[in-house]
Chains A and B, each alone.
Chain A
Amino acid sequence: MSATAVAPRLHGLRHRRVTVLLALLACVAVAIVLSVTIGSKSVPLADAWHALTSPTGTENDLVIRSLRLPRTALGVLAGIALGVAGALMQGHTRNPLADPGLLGVTQGAAFAMVASIILLGASSLLAYIWYGLAGALVASVAVFALGMVGGRSGPTPVTLALAGTAVSALLYALTSTIVLLDEQAMDVFRFWQAGSIASRGADVVWQVLPFVLAGLVLALVNAPGLNALSLGEDVARSLGQNIARTRTIGVAAVTLLSGAAVAACGSLAFVGLIVPHLARPLSGNDHRWLLPYSGLVGAGLLLIADVIGRVVAPPGELEVGVVLALLGAPFFVALVRRRKPVRL
């Protein structure tokens, strides 16, 4: 095929990819509007606009600015982070069932939080989040280190899954011990473990933001190398790829992204797992497109799930983690049933 015949087709592909990107952005924008306006107190669109542009301290202004906006912003951040982290993990492990929860991140954060309560007397949400973040980072590095030791050439899906299970179980047992000894720790733990983006406040968003941004930069840097790796390690090596470096950047990105999301929101099951499967049919296997698509799909999914949680069980709310588990499980089961199952 001559170059002149390929060029228009490539052009058409890029055109389509940009169109999809814009469509996804529009979807996220709609989800943001829904998330800001819908809730136990619904706010008309005009009032929401008023709250954003020229607040005068009305009740609606307060609801929007101090509750809904931080909640929505956190949902967007966590959704992007978990979506991108999931796509990275599935790419690196070449396992379509990989999920950041697998890495021990969730239980690492939980343990650090409750330990900080009884050992260091931590008592504010911000303090919990910092300790949770540290715990998530340490746990996932430990899991990867263990996975590296287990496999001969980097973490294989099997050793990674095993390492994640083992570290998670150990941390969960230690966490349980603490929460059974201390009522305050129990109270923090049970709400955090259910997974929520509500009542976190704007300062939490600002604390988490740098970690997510750093993780996103690393993820985008990682994309071309990951494309080469998906051809197999031998091919990637013959293409001049530094495999160890590509893997390390990937692990760092996954750790920063999922650690930040999990520390701020608790256990959000299935996001990292589902999102890449929704994004891949749109993007194909090119990670330079899959990663941004996954981020946007993740943000949209998380916000919609949160809005569903606000309206299904009035007058109370269902935590977004529970909604995600209920939405994600059928998807996961369908995934497992559809094809010849992937060997873990």
Chain B
Amino acid sequence: MTTLRMSAVSWRVRPRGVTLTVAGLALLVLLMALNMRIGEIELTLPEVLSGTFDADAAAHFVIMELRLPRALTGALVGAALALSGAIIQSIARNPLASPEILGVTTGASVTVVAGLVAAGTAYGTAGGLLATLGIPLLALLGGLAGAAIVYGLAWRRGLDGYRLVLVGIGVAAVFTNVKFWLLTIGDVNDTARAMVWISGSLNGRGWEHVTPTALALAVLVPLTLLGTRSLDALRFGDDTVTGLGIRLNLSRALLILAAVLLAAVAVASAGPVAFVALASPQIALRLVRSGRPPLLSSAVVGAVLTTAADLIARTAFSPIELPVGIVTAVLGAPYLIHLIWRSRK
């Protein structure tokens, strides 16, 4: 481990973490290039390049308006979810913790389904403002409200990681049942639309989804990286941490807030994409071999996972597109089973 020092600020760097991050980014570029090439219209690499940089090229619209914003949304959403998961797992000291447990994704799902059902079939024709702004806004508010409920109920003279996870499971069960009840009220067409959304989908995502996710990451990533020091300390029991003189509850609350915001923004853009937040930090942890999920490497793993999953979702059952969240769930569940196998040793 190396320590970088710039006047008062020091930074510890793991060589394995740097290697993983660089390799991950390279893999991401490769997957993005594949994503640009494959689709209803197959493009060659020169066509992709000219389509990206030359506004008059034939492929310009396909690349710049359809494929690139979709792929970027996927990568950013994956990074945000994974970073959120890494923070939450570090705080809960539990590899099963995720934004889902914190009520963010389930809260967002309920709110969006309620919005889709309330708007009824009118939503299909309304389009415009409701379509582009309404759903992401509903998801953001619902995600924040869900997290506030879970956090409030789990708080009892401090916050216990396990209590947080358990309260989260209980609240998630209620949200899920209410969600399915709402689905029974709606018209079956609205239900299908809602099902696509609550599965987590990147279909039809444009620059209006890229920008907010990118902005949120630009603000929140540096902040969470600054919180790394207290995350390291939070790994130890509450007594030790208090002994270390860290304002435990404040720094924990701020980190959780950052994690909630990251997840809420991601869900607002793409819906609740399953397992990325759960699996990415654990994969990164094993690759980097650190004591807790490494933040930056987790984000890169999350971006790679989501981009790869969307490539599969778009092409596996062509011409039918699956929601990306279904692919991540089908890939993520065997990973959990693998975790169980390992625990045998």
Chain A residues close to B by CB (< 8 Å): 97, 101, 146-147, 149-152, 158-159, 161-163, 165-167, 169-170, 172-174, 176-177, 179-181, 183, 186-187, 190-191, 193-195, 267, 269-270, 318-319, 321-322, 324-326, 328-329, 332-333, 336-337, 341-344
Contacts and interface: CB of A to CB of B under 8 A. Distances in A.
B180 A267 contact: yes
A15 to B, nearest CB: 38
B275 A169 contact: yes
B340 A183 contact: no
Nearest to A168: B333
Contact of A321 (B96, B156, B177, B192): B177
Contact of B178 (A163, A174, A322): A322
Interface in B139-195: 153-154, 156, 160, 162-163, 165-167, 170-171, 173-174, 176-178, 180-181, 183-184, 188, 191-192, 195
Given A166-B337, A325-B178, A329-B171, A186 B199 contact: no
Given A150-B341, A173-B330, A194-B183, A180 B336 contact: no
Interface of B: 96, 153-154, 156, 160, 162-163, 165-167, 170-171, 173-174, 176-178, 180-181, 183-184, 188, 191-192, 195-196, 199, 274-275, 320, 322-323, 325-326, 329-330, 332-334, 336-337, 339-341, 343-344
A132 B274 CA distance: 24
Contact of A337 (B156, B325, B326): B156
A173 B344 CA distance: 26
B340 A149 contact: yes
A159 B329 contact: no
Contacts of B154: 337
A270 B173 contact: yes
Given A162-B96, A270-B173, A172 B329 contact: yes
Among B165, B166, B188, B196, find the residue whose CB has the most chain A CB atoms closer than 10 A: B166
A181 B336 contact: no
B327 to A, nearest CB: 8
A293 to B, nearest CB: 24
Contact of A190 (B180, B274, B333): B180
B344 A341 contact: no
Contacts of B184: 190-191, 194, 319
A267 B177 contact: yes
Given A190-B183, A341-B166, A344-B166, A150 B174 contact: no
Contacts of B153: 333, 337
Given A161-B96, A332-B170, A336-B170, 13 more contacts: A146-B340, A147-B340, A159-B343, A165-B96, A170-B330, A177-B322, A186-B192, A190-B180, A191-B184, A321-B181, A332-B173, A337-B163, A341-B162
7 contacts: A146-B337, A159-B340, A169-B333, A180-B196, A269-B177, A328-B174, A344-B165
Contacts of A193: 180, 183
Give 8 closest A-B pairs by Cβ, nearest first: A173-B329, A170-B333, A166-B336, A325-B177, A332-B170, A150-B340, A193-B180, A322-B181
Contacts of A329: 170-171, 173-174
Contacts of A344: 96, 162, 165-166
Contact of B191 (A147, A152, A190): A190
A61 to B, nearest CB: 29
